Amino acid sequence: MNGAESLVHTLLGSGVDVCFTNPGTSEMHFVAALDRIPGMRCILGLQENIVTGAADGYWRMAEKPACTLLHCGPGLANGLANLHNARRARSGIVNIVGDQAVYHRPYDAPLTADTEGWARGASAFVRTSTRAEDVGADAAVAVQAARTSPGQVATLILPSDASWNEGGVVAQPLPVPAVPQADPHAIRQAARVLREKRNVLILLGGLGLREGAQRQAHRIAAATGARLMAEGSNGRIQRGRGRLALDRVPYVVEQAAQALGWVEHLILVNAKAPVGFFGYPGKPSRLYPPAAEVHVLTRFEQDAEQALAALAEELGAPRADIPDPGARPEPARGALSPEGLAQTLAALMPEGAVVVDESVTYGRGFFPLTNAAPPHDWLQNCGGAIGYGPCVATGAAVAVGGRRVVGLQADGSAMYTVQALWTQARERLPVTTLLLSNRKYQILLGEYRNVGANPGRTALDMMDLGNPDIGWVQLANGMGVEAAQADTLDRCADLMAQSFARPGPFLIELLI
């Protein structure tokens, strides 16, 4: 058995059976091993950021890691932006990078690079396996690291001779470390704050946004009058009927400061005390009042549902039903608008849909208008590196096998990783992309104002995607994805309904 074969056997034995890949020469023995060993679903991405973003989306919905297979330092570098987003979403990924053979490295051949160095910035675990004998054991440790709560990027670098040399040893799966429970002192402290103080906000993030945790948080809020909110960007929120109608911290600093201005006590549940995306001249970095006291109920890796349940018990909070969000809306009609699109989405999305939100400026108000939709998952970009949407949608669709994925996708961001459409077509994934075609970098117009600059003609030109217009229908068609344009909500609703009723991907270019 060679090293590559021991790697594939170990991954499969450890429950990793999906590989998103863009391979090269140094990965050929891994690829060859896949031919001989059944059980690994291999999915080709045509640029490494597709691969890493898909692995992120897969984790968020499958709750177990996929592996990647990337080619040398430069292949890893191409995938770093979405690895960064995955790290911020606290997604677990077994990130495998083939590299130069150990004995060839001193010759400094063209693709030789500081692969470990590049990996480190986006990974919680980095290891290079230099001997075939070690590859299996190292792979088992990498899977364990990826699955360690709340989920981590674990990069395993594999020189090609460690892959092709004989002597591979399959490693037994290592136990997944238990999710740590909250500190009882933290629970008592939060209970004291909730009993004695006013103007308390409980900020939910990470696993605190799953249905079970929401139910416990609602008990606490109903019993104490504390308010609940989600972080500004969240890896996965369970939403819709039967789940809480949560607001999230607004992106715009002034709006956030207003939304949080009343807070005197902030209790964090798998969340970070909110800060602005950027520093702006004369504006605060923290979005909550400087005098507010911050209390940590659970850190990112701790069990939010257990902690909230224990807190509810400590408070003697009775069970409380999740409020009914009202009737499901009808599809909206007439001219395209953000409100109309959100309403139409709420009206038509199938139960169990996965919404991958990279709507940037257009979708800022989508949350309140989609609370009465059927139960669904809503995924956001936690790392701010744009181009996450098409890739996360692809990986999420692989994870949920058959459930509809809806991409709310701004056009500028989509152009970073448009090749993901090709993977969606090749794998026949049920992804409907609502392509928000405003033909500009709209957000940057606002950011210009925020930093106190006044854009002139050259600056405005840098935010204009309309010269030339991007042909979205042709682009999608060229990669095997059916597509059509919509310039009204009526047409959008028709196309949405059609695409939801059929298997496979579809792109609707909304001329907003």
Ligand X SMILES: Cc1ncc(C[n+]2csc(CCOP(=O)(O)OP(=O)(O)O)c2C)c(N)n1
Q: Does 386 bind ligand X (CB under 6 A)?
A: yes
Q: Does 444 bind ligand X (CB under 6 A)?
A: yes
Q: Does 194 bind ligand X (CB under 6 A)?
A: no
Count other Cβ atoms within 10 Å, centred on residue 274: 24
Alpha-helix runs per DSSP H in 350-409:
389-400
Sheet holding 200-204, edge to edge: 227-230, 200-204, 265-269, 293-298
Q: Which of 189, 238, 361, 498 binds ligand X (CB under 6 A)?
A: 361
Q: Does 389 bind ligand X (CB under 6 A)?
A: no
**Integer angstrom CA distances of residue 172 from 8, 9, 138, 141:** 12, 10, 11, 10
Count other Cβ atoms within 10 Å, centred on residue 286: 15
Please tell me the distance from the alpha carbon of residue 71 to that of residue 97, in angstroms, as a whole number. Answer: 6
Please tell me the distance from the alpha carbon of residue 70 to that of residue 301, in angstroms, as a whole number. Answer: 28
Least distance in angstroms from the C-beta of 438 to ligand X:
5
Q: Name which of 27 and 48 has its Cβ closer to ligand X.
A: 48
Residue span binding ligand X (CB under 6 A) among the ranges 98-106, 126-134, 169-177, 360-368 = 360-368
Q: Which of 283, 328, 364, 440 binds ligand X (CB under 6 A)?
A: 440
Q: Which uninterrupted H or E stretch holds 462?
A: none
Q: Name which of 277 and 500 has its Cβ closer to ligand X.
A: 277
Please tell me the distance from the alpha carbon of residue 397 to that of residue 349, in angstroms, as a whole number. Answer: 15
Q: Name which of 96 and 435 has its Cβ closer to ligand X.
A: 435
Q: Does 434 bind ligand X (CB under 6 A)?
A: no
Q: Does 81 bind ligand X (CB under 6 A)?
A: yes
Assess contact for 56 and 91: CB atoms under 8 A: yes
How many residues in the shown chain lie near ligand X by CB under 6 A? Answer: 17
Residue span binding ligand X (CB under 6 A) among the ranges 232-240, 249-257, 372-380, 382-390 = 382-390
Least distance in angstroms from the C-beta of 365 to ligand X:
13
Least distance in angstroms from the C-beta of 74 to ligand X:
17
Least distance in angstroms from the C-beta of 400 to ligand X:
25
Please tell me the distance from the alpha carbon of residue 203 to that of residue 362, in angstroms, as a whole number. Answer: 24
Q: Does 388 bind ligand X (CB under 6 A)?
A: no
Q: Which of 99, 357, 411, 509 binds ligand X (CB under 6 A)?
A: 411
Residue span binding ligand X (CB under 6 A) among the ranges 27-35, 62-70, 384-392, 449-457 = 384-392
Q: Does 441 bind ligand X (CB under 6 A)?
A: yes
Q: Does 408 bind ligand X (CB under 6 A)?
A: no
Q: Does 413 bind ligand X (CB under 6 A)?
A: yes
Assess contact for 338 and 355: CB atoms under 8 A: no
Q: Does 283 bind ligand X (CB under 6 A)?
A: no
> Taking CB under 6 A as the criterion, which residues in 199-238 touch ligand X?
none
Q: Which residue in the shown chain puts its C-beta closest to ligand X?
A: 412
Assess contact for 89 and 152: CB atoms under 8 A: no
Count other Cβ atoms within 10 Å, centred on residue 446: 11
Q: Which of 261, 368, 384, 452 binds ligand X (CB under 6 A)?
A: 384
Residue span binding ligand X (CB under 6 A) among the ranges 288-296, 359-367, 396-404, 424-432 = 359-367
CB burial class (10 A; 0-12, 13-18, 19+) of residue 169?
A: middle
| 347 CB-near residues (< 8 Å, 6+ apart) | 328, 329, 330, 331, 332, 373, 493
Assess contact for 470 and 411: CB atoms under 8 A: yes
Please tell me the distance from the alpha carbon of residue 276 to that of residue 250, in angstroms, as a whole number. Answer: 9
Q: Which of 73, 75, 395, 412 binds ligand X (CB under 6 A)?
A: 412
Residue span binding ligand X (CB under 6 A) among the ranges 37-45, 216-224, 300-308, 441-449 = 441-449
| Positions in the binding site for ligand X (CB under 6 A) | 81, 360-362, 384-386, 410-413, 438, 440-444
